[in-house]
Amino acid sequence: MWERIYRMLVKEFIQVLRDPRMKALIFVMPVIQLIMFGYAVTTDVDHIKTAVCDLDKSPQSRALIERFTASGYFTVVDNTDRPERLGELLDRSKAIIGIQINRGFADDLISGRQAVIQTIIDGTDSNTGTVAMDYAQRITQEFSKERAAPIELTQLAQEQASPIELRSRAWFNPDLKSRYYNVPGVIAVVVLLISLLLTAMAIVREREIGTMEQLMVTPIRSFELILGKTLPFVLISFIDVLVVTAIGVNWFNVPIHGSLGLLLFGAGLYLMSTIGIGLFISTISQTQQQALMSSFFFYLPAVLLSGFMFPISNMPEPAQWLTYLNPLRYFLIIIRDIFLKGSGLEILWPQFAALAVLGTVLLLVSSLRFQKRMV
C-alpha cells in the first residue's frame, strides 16, 4: 500500500512541478499577494488630501495649518482664497477635507473670544470622513488650549475641572497598527486560495486529460488514490504557510508572540478543512473550468463571512450562524491570537476542536463521494 501511495506522490509532484508556470503560481503568487494585500488592506487613515482656504493670513492661522500638516494625517493639496473652491475640490474628489479659516481668527484667539474655523468633509467614504473629522477636532482643541489667552484658559480649566482622569492603554498592539491585525488575516486567506484551487483541480484533471482510465486498471485503492492526490498539496500548502509567515514577520515586522509549532498545528487542521472542500469540489466537477468556478463560488463567501473584513457580531443572525461552518473563521482567530497575544492551546482549544471536527467531516464526506470510476 505504501509503495502505491509513494508512486502516486511522485507522480503528482512531477505533474505539478514540471511546469515552470505552475511552480510560480504555487510559490511566487502567495508572496506577491501577501506583499500587495499587506500594504493595501489597511484601516489606517493618514495623508488625507486637504484643501485650505485661509482668509485670515495671520501667524496664528498659518501655525494652525502647520499643525495639521505636521501631524502626518493631513496633506495639503490646494491653497485657495476662494471659499467656493473648497466645494469644487470635494466635488471632484481632489480633496477629502476642506478647512476654512475666516478673517478675524487671530484677533478672536488673542482676545479670548471663541475662534471658529469650518471643516467640510467628503462623506462618501464614511469611515475616512469620520476619522478625518476626529483628527481635525483633536488638533484644533490642542491648538486652542496652547494659544488661548492665559486668563481665559485658566477660567476654562476651572470650569472643566473633573475628578475623573481617563488614561487609555492599548494591549497587544500598542501603536494600534492595522497592519498587525490584517497581515495574519491575509496569510490565512492566501493559504485558503492556494490549497483550495490546487486540490479542486486534482481529480477532475485526471478526467479531463483522459488518464483516469489508466488509474482504473491499476491495483491502487480509492483511499490510496485520494491520499496520493492530496498529500502533495498538503506539503505544498505547508511550505506556503512557512513562506508567507516568514514574509509577514520579516518584511512587515509583524510580531509573533506565540508558539510557531502551535501555529503549524492549527494550520494542519485548517488545511484538513480546505483540502476537504477542494476534494469535494473536485469530485462533483466534470471539467477544470467547473472546478475553478465552484472554488471561487465558495472562496468569496468564505472570506466575507469569516470576520476578515467585517465583524461577525455586526452581521445578521442567520449569517452569524452560517459562519460556524466556515473554517476560515476559526483559523483567523488562531493566527491572530498566536501572532499578537501569544495565546496557547488552553485559550484556543475551541477553535482547534472546531477545525478538527470540520476537517474530519469534510474529508470523510469527500472520500465517500469519490469512486474510482468514470462518472
Closest listed residue to residue 52, CA positions, set 21, 72, 35, 77: 77
CA distance 30 to 35: 9
Read off the pLDDT of residues 321-375 as tens digits, 9 standing for 90 and up: 999 999 999 999 999 999 988 889 999 999 999 999 999 999 888 888 776 544 4
CA distance 174 to 138: 20
Average model confidence (pLDDT) across the chain: 81
Closest listed residue to residue 30, CA positions, set 326, 173, 244: 244
Please report which confidence band the pLDDT of residue 269 belongs to, taking 50, 70 and 90 as the band edges.
very high
Higher model confidence: residue 161 or residue 116?
116
The pTM is what?
0.73
CA distance 124 to 98: 14
Q: What is the mean pLDDT of residues 150-156?
A: 46
Read off the pLDDT of residues 101-129 as tens digits, 9 standing for 90 and up: 988 888 888 887 778 888 888 876 666 78
Read off the pLDDT of residues 300-317 as tens digits, 9 standing for 90 and up: 899 989 988 778 877 888
Residue keyed to cell 477629502: 96
- Residue 270 predicted with pLDDT over 90: yes
CA distance 198 to 190: 12
Percent of the chain with pLDDT over 70: 82
Q: What is the mean pLDDT of residues 208-236?
A: 74
Higher model confidence: residue 161 or residue 69?
69
| pLDDT score of 128 | 76
**Total count of residues recorded for the chain:** 375
| pLDDT score of 200 | 85
Closest listed residue to residue 356, CA positions, set 271, 232, 262, 235: 271
CA distance 294 to 115: 61
Residue keyed to cell 486652542: 144
Higher model confidence: residue 211 or residue 91?
91
Find the angle CA(188)-CA(322)-CA(298) to the nearest 5 degrees: 50
| pLDDT score of 315 | 84
Cα torsion 359, 320, 191, 267 to 10°: value is -50
Question: Strand ranges (DSSP E) for the chain?
Answer: 48-54, 74-80, 97-101, 117-121
CA distance 309 to 104: 46
Strand partners, 48: 74
Higher model confidence: residue 226 or residue 237?
237
Sequence-separated (6 or more) residues with CB below 8 Å from residue 227: 5, 8
| pLDDT score of 113 | 78
